[in-house]
């Protein structure tokens, strides 16, 4: 069932009209500094989520290609680890500039393959580029510690690279998440193999071109594609010492288990259910704007989307106004200048979100705003669109509360006090992000100290930390204990060594051996 012309497996793209099934475009592999076409017979189609037209095909990288990729990354590590930190810094400085110049090009690829609006896609690139900019400070970031323990003895630490590292990425931030991974890893002297999501590989391919142009040597950055087979290889291959994963719970737990049982370091950022607490003393206008943007922006496909609102006391009277604001958002293809909300990544994702909305209604929630089957311009009729949807009277036993929806759906709960809101959030298994909207400093401080969530916003709806800090997800939102980027990121990609040196100036002719533990 393979197309002779492009060797594409027809069975993978059969539910579309024949004119849309095959594309001459195939996404390449980036191995040992070369962009090469895979020899696979197994190609995964990538569709534009706004139209469901074919954009490209992604290869399931063959076992031999994966082996070549890992071996070239291992070979490149031998010389890369010996480069001076200043050399690596210069390359990163050039890379950040090239990314800055090509922001629109990368963003265009993101909108085409992932669906988010062009303005939002530029934010995806910016938030990733900030990690590169931070990694340019590697000369300071990698400094160790030193203590003159005595006049003749020093103890100092060094941080050394691990070897080949791997990064496995989700679809929702095709630029930012790979940029959480490879710039810091290679700045620290490692080599890295990135596997972008098979649903939107384009941004990473542009980043690989820019890395090559910036002078990243052959084999230091590698890009392979595919799904389960490629991931299993990365979890098992002997050259790979550490794996960074961002994605869904099920896959993250699997990779954590498989990778760690093979003796690798694994950091895995998983799913989320982020609650926003709305206090009646908050600035109403600001809060409703923030809530609307954070719940529905990027069609709710952000791991830090504020998908659950907890109204405290009289704040629940603001719900009708929230609905009015959400209704004003424009649902259309991401390249349209007035677009607020683009499509969901796939037809399956759309069906899943619709199912969870339906389950909410069936289980007793009130559908204040129904975004299913939204009106979109004709050219987007086949796209995977859902408009802003608001469910109120939601309770903790409903599926729409328990599951991560990952769509433009805000579920709303009501409580009487801040303490009840805190209890409710702490009972939820996830601990990625949360926010409180209030004008009371003492409420905000009380919340920040009593909430068991990794990232807390105070009048900030999506508190993704800047890269001088780390992304500190908590509880079921993370597997492993070393966070992404910032100081933790470097800790993850390096091994500490502690050297204790004795340079005795006197007494060197002493003949009796010391047998006790030195003090
Ligand atoms: P996903 O888990 O489906 O895919 C992530 C990666 O895993 C992809 O590269 C994919 O090819 C691979 N993969 C998928 N199925 C696999 C399998 N059965 N075996 C091995 N590998 C497999 O995630 P997604 O849908 O691309 O991303 C959305 C999820 O990512 C959401 O749950 C979101 O919350 C989460 N996310 C979390 C963070 C965070 O920092 N906590 C950030 C972004 C996204």
- Is-catalytic flag, 303? yes
ipTM above 0.85, yes or no: yes
Ligand 1 geometric centre to CA of 324 (Å): 33
Quick one: average pLDDT of 166-188?
Answer: 98
In a mutational test of the pocket of ligand 1, which residue from 61, 66, 195, 247 has the highest number of ligand atoms less than 8 Å from its CB? 247
Q: Does the pLDDT of residue 7 top 60, yes or no? A: no
Q: Which of 330, 291, 334 is nearest to 460 (CA)?
A: 291
Q: Mean pLDDT for the chain?
A: 94
Residue 242 dihedral angles phi and psi, to the nearest 5°: -150, 145
Q: Which of 124, 439, 503, 150 is nearest to 303 (CA)?
A: 124
pLDDT for the residue 15: 46
User: CB–CB of 167/185 below 8 Å?
Assistant: yes
Query: Rounded CA gap, 233 and 225, in Å?
Result: 11
Q: How far is CA 505 from the centre of its chain?
A: 54
Q: Does the pLDDT of residue 255 top 70, yes or no? A: yes
Integer-rounded Cα Rg, in Å, for the chain is 25
Kindly report whether the global pTM for this prediction surpasses the value 0.90. yes
> Which position among 136, 169, 303, 412 bears the catalytic label?
303
For 82-102, write each residue's pLDDT tens digit.
999 999 999 999 999 999 999
Residue 168 alpha carbon, nearest atom of ligand 1? 9
Quick one: average pLDDT of 425-444?
Answer: 98
State whether the Cα torsion 233-238-239-245 is positive or negative: positive
Q: Where does ligand 1 bind, in terms of residues with CB under 6 Å? A: 168-173, 195, 197-198, 227-228, 231, 246-248, 251, 254, 269-272, 303, 404, 406, 432, 471, 473, 477
Ligand 1 geometric centre to CA of 505 (Å): 59
Minimal-distance CA residue to ligand 1 atom 38 = 303
* DSSP E strand stretches across 355-502: 366-369, 389-392, 409-415, 430-431, 433-437, 455-458, 474-475, 478-479, 494-502
pLDDT for the residue 17: 43
- Sheet hosting strand 308-312, strand order edge to edge: 366-369, 389-392, 409-415, 308-312, 275-278, 433-437, 455-458
* DSSP E strand stretches across 366-512: 366-369, 389-392, 409-415, 430-431, 433-437, 455-458, 474-475, 478-479, 494-502
For 99-151, write each residue's pLDDT tens digit.
999 999 999 999 999 999 999 999 999 999 999 999 999 999 999 999 999 99
Ligand 1 geometric centre to CA of 92 (Å): 27
pLDDT for the residue 24: 56
Dihedral of the CA atoms 21, 25, 30, 35 (nearest 10)?
150
Ligand 1 geometric centre to CA of 75 (Å): 29
Quick one: average pLDDT of 333-347?
Answer: 98
Q: Which of 438, 471, 439 is nearest to 455 (CA)?
A: 471
């Amino acid at each position: 069932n393979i197309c002779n012309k492009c060797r594409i497996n027809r069975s993978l793209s059969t539910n579309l009209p024949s004119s849309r099934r095959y594309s001459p475009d195939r996404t390449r592999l980036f191995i040992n500094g070369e962009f090469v076409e895979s020899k696979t017979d197994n190609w995964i189609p990538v569709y534009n989520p706004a139209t469901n037209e074919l954009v490209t095909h992604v290869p399931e990288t063959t076992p031999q290609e994966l082996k070549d990729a890992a071996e070239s990354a291992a070979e490149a590590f031998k010389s890369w680890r010996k480069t001076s930190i200043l050399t690596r810094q210069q390359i990163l400085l050039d890379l950040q500039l090239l990314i800055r110049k090509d922001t629109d090009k990368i963003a265009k690829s993101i909108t085409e393959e992932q669906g988010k609006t062009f303005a939002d896609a530029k934010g995806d690139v910016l938030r990733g580029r900030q990690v590169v900019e931070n990694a340019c400070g590697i000369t300071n970031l990698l400094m160790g510690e030193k203590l003159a323990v005595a006049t003749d003895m020093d103890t100092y630490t060094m941080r050394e690279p691990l070897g080949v590292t791997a990064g496995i990425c989700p679809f929702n931030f095709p630029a930012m998440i790979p940029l959480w991974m490879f710039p810091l890893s290679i700045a620290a002297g490692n080599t890295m193999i990135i596997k972008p999501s098979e649903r939107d590989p384009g941004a990473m391919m542009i980043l690989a071109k820019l890395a090559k142009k910036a002078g990243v040597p052959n084999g230091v950055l590698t890009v392979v594609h595919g799904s389960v087979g490629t991931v299993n290889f990365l979890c098992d291959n002997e050259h790979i010492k550490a794996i960074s994963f961002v994605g869904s719970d099920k896959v993250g737990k699997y990779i954590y288990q498989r990778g760690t049982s093979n003796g690798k370091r694994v950091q895995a950022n998983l799913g989320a259910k982020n609650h926003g607490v709305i206090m009646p003393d908050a600035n109403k206008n600001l809060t409703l704007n923030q809530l609307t943007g954070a719940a529905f922006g990027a069609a709710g496909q952000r791991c830090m989307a504020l998908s659950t609102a907890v109204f405290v006391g009289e704040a629940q009277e603001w719900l009708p106004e929230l609905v009015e604001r959400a209704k004003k958002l424009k649902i259309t293809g991401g390249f349209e200048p007035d677009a607020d909300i683009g499509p969901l990544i796939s037809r399956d994702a759309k069906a899943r979100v619709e199912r969870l909305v339906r389950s909410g209604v069936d289980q007793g929630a009130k559908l204040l705003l129904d975004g299913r089957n939204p009106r979109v311009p004709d050219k987007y009729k086949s796209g995977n669109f859902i408009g802003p949807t608001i469910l109120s009277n939601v309770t903790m036993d409903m599926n729409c509360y328990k599951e991560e929806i990952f769509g433009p759906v805000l579920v709303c709960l009501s409580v009487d006090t801040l303490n009840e809101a805190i209890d409710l959030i702490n009972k939820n298994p996830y601990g990625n992000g949360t926010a409180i909207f209030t004008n009371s400093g003492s409420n905000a401080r009380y919340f920040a100290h009593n909430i068991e969530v990794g990232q807390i916003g105070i009048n900030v709806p999506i508190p993704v930390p800047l890269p001088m800090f780390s992304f500190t997800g908590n509880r079921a939102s993370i597997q492993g204990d070393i966070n992404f980027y910032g100081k933790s990121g470097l800790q993850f990609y390096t091994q500490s060594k502690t050297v204790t040196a004795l340079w005795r100036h006197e007494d060197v002719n002493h003949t009796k051996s010391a047998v006790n533990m030195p003090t």
